[in-house]
């Protein structure tokens, strides 16, 4: 009983500290995520002072990642993207291919084994849908509706392509089960997801007037499908949760499910980013500064600049610089894939610390920089706002 009380007290204290840090960050015109990360660093075992229970924080982070990516899966509407902005359907996958190849070659040249380089390359190629959504919702945003729509659409396409590649990559390198079992399990998971896509929207449609049951069934179904996918295929739960979200992404109930899930997603997102902060080891990072520079350089050159160029070539109705900068971060998928690499013992601690630091730095920079640029007026130059 006493241990439970201490755990509840710790969880509440961390959440309050994160909320206060997020409030301070916003008063300083910084994203709230910066405050969450700072709290994580402050209560980590690598800094002086109070140390949070790593098991509890990691549990909340894992559940947070599952709910975050489940909600992102619900948000996917590829038919709308194809109808309104068909060029993004080839531009986003092409960007991922270019970024992944550049990162794979760079990390291999720097001495990582091929499997670790491939996982990190995929992590660098994908952005954070959570950060992108925060950019488009910020009260201080300078984005226009077209840019906001394409920011979300591009990041969602990254998630779709990235999850497909991750499943194949994890099967090939044997991160889960043998490839034959993984493929067989993948077929079973696909059948389960298709069945869920057929039945779940109908079940939820009949529960709209019962919000408690609607929320319970939608979340429980997502978690159950995600758990089954992880068991069948051996892929991380967070990736399976994204596919589970796709099961109810079509139809009129998807917006309702997403609206009711948002408060829980936002709550667990706080713990997710706090957990990332607790994992950053300054001593390991000191040994991996070169890796940190490499990660950030790849995000800036092989990702943001590539997106900017593709946006211009495809003539998307968005501000190219805002699109490139807004997607210029390493996101939650990077954390998931790096964790897989660490669990397999193929990623040195200094590289892991460098990637986690690049997640924190790139999120902060992209969230702030995306607000400093306005769309050109009547063909004139872009307006850069003072900091």
Q: How many domains does the chain have?
A: 1
Neighbour tally for 291: CB within 10 Å: 25
Task: Summarize pLDDT for 181-190 with one digit per residue, the tens.
Answer: 666 766 777 7
Answer yes or no: is pLDDT of 148 > 80: yes
Task: Summarize pLDDT for 191-204 with one digit per residue, the tens.
Answer: 777 777 777 777 87
Average pLDDT over residues 237-241: 75
Domain at 216, CATH number:
1.20.1530.20
Answer yes or no: is pLDDT of 376 > 60: no
Answer yes or no: is pLDDT of 163 > 50: yes
Contact 243, 225 (CB under 8 A): yes
d(CA 109, CA 59): 35
d(CA 165, CA 180): 17
Which class for 70: exposed (0-12), middle (13-18), buried (19 or more C-beta within 10 A)? buried
The pLDDT value recorded for residue 220 is 80
CA angle 367, 372, 377 (to 5 degrees): 130
The pLDDT value recorded for residue 75 is 67
The pLDDT value recorded for residue 105 is 96
Neighbour tally for 348: CB within 10 Å: 18
The pLDDT value recorded for residue 325 is 92
Answer yes or no: is pLDDT of 377 > 50: no
Average pLDDT over residues 228-254: 71
Contact 239, 159 (CB under 8 A): no
Which class for 184: exposed (0-12), middle (13-18), buried (19 or more C-beta within 10 A)? middle
In sequence order, what are the residues at sequence separation of 6 or more whose Cβ sits closer than 8 angstroms to the Cβ of residue 64? 268, 269, 270, 271, 272, 275
Q: How many alpha carbons fall within 13 Å on the CB side of residue 134?
A: 25
Top-ranked range on mean pLDDT: pick from 39-48, 73-82, 88-97, 362-371? 88-97
d(CA 319, CA 375): 6
Task: Summarize pLDDT for 33-82 with one digit per residue, the tens.
Answer: 888 888 888 888 877 777 777 677 777 667 777 777 777 777 666 666 66
Answer yes or no: is pLDDT of 381 > 50: no
Answer yes or no: is pLDDT of 302 > 90: yes
In angstroms, how far is CA 79 from the centroid of its own chain? 22
Average pLDDT over residues 295-299: 95
Contact 122, 162 (CB under 8 A): yes
The pLDDT value recorded for residue 176 is 52
Neighbour tally for 206: CB within 10 Å: 12
The pLDDT value recorded for residue 335 is 78
Domain that holds residue 109: 2-384
Q: What is the pTM of this model?
A: 0.81
Q: Taking the alpha carbons of 294, 371, 156, 209 in that order, is the dihedral positive or negative?
A: positive
Answer yes or no: is pLDDT of 12 > 90: no
């Amino acid at each position: 009983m006493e241990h439970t009380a201490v755990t509840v007290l710790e969880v509440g204290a961390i959440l309050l500290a994160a909320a206060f840090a997020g409030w301070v960050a916003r008063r300083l015109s910084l994203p709230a995520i910066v405050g969450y990360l700072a709290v994580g660093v402050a209560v980590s075992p690598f800094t002086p002072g109070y140390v949070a229970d790593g098991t509890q924080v990691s549990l909340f982070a894992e559940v947070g990642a599952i709910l975050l990516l489940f909600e992102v899966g619900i948000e996917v509407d590829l038919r709308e993207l194809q109808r309104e902005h068909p060029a993004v359907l080839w531009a986003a996958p092409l960007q991922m291919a270019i970024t992944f190849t550049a990162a794979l070659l760079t990390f291999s040249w720097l001495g990582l084994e091929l499997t670790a380089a491939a996982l990190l390359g995929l992590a660098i190629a994908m952005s954070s849908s959570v950060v992108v959504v925060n950019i488009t919702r910020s009260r201080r945003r300078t984005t226009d509706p077209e840019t906001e729509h394409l920011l979300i659409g591009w990041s969602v396409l990254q998630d779709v392509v990235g999850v497909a590649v991750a499943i194949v990559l994890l099967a090939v390198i044997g991160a889960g089960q043998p490839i034959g079992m993984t493929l067989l399990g993948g077929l079973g998971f696909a059948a389960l997801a298709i069945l869920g896509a057929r039945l779940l929207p109908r079940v939820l449609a009949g529960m709209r007037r019962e919000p408690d049951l609607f929320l319970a069934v939608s979340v429980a179904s997502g978690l159950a499908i995600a758990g089954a996918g992880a068991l069948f295929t051996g892929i991380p739960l967070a990736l399976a949760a994204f596919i589970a979200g796709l099961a109810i992404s079509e139809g009129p109930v998807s917006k309702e499910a997403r609206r009711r899930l948002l408060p829980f997603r936002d709550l667990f997102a706080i713990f997710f980013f706090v957990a990332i902060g607790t994992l950053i080891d300054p001593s390991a990072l000191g040994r991996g500064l070169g890796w940190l520079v490499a990660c950030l350089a790849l995000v800036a050159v092989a990702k943001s600049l590539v997106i900017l160029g593709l946006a211009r070539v495809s003539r998307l109705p968005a501000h190219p610089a805002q699109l490139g900068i807004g997607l210029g971060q390493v996101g939650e998928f990077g954390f998931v894939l790096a964790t897989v690499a660490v669990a397999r013992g193929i990623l040195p601690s200094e590289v892991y610390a460098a990637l986690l630091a690049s997640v924190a730095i790139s999120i902060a920079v992209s969230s702030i920089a995306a607000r400093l640029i306005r769309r050109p007026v009547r063909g004139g130059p872009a307006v850069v706002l003072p900091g």
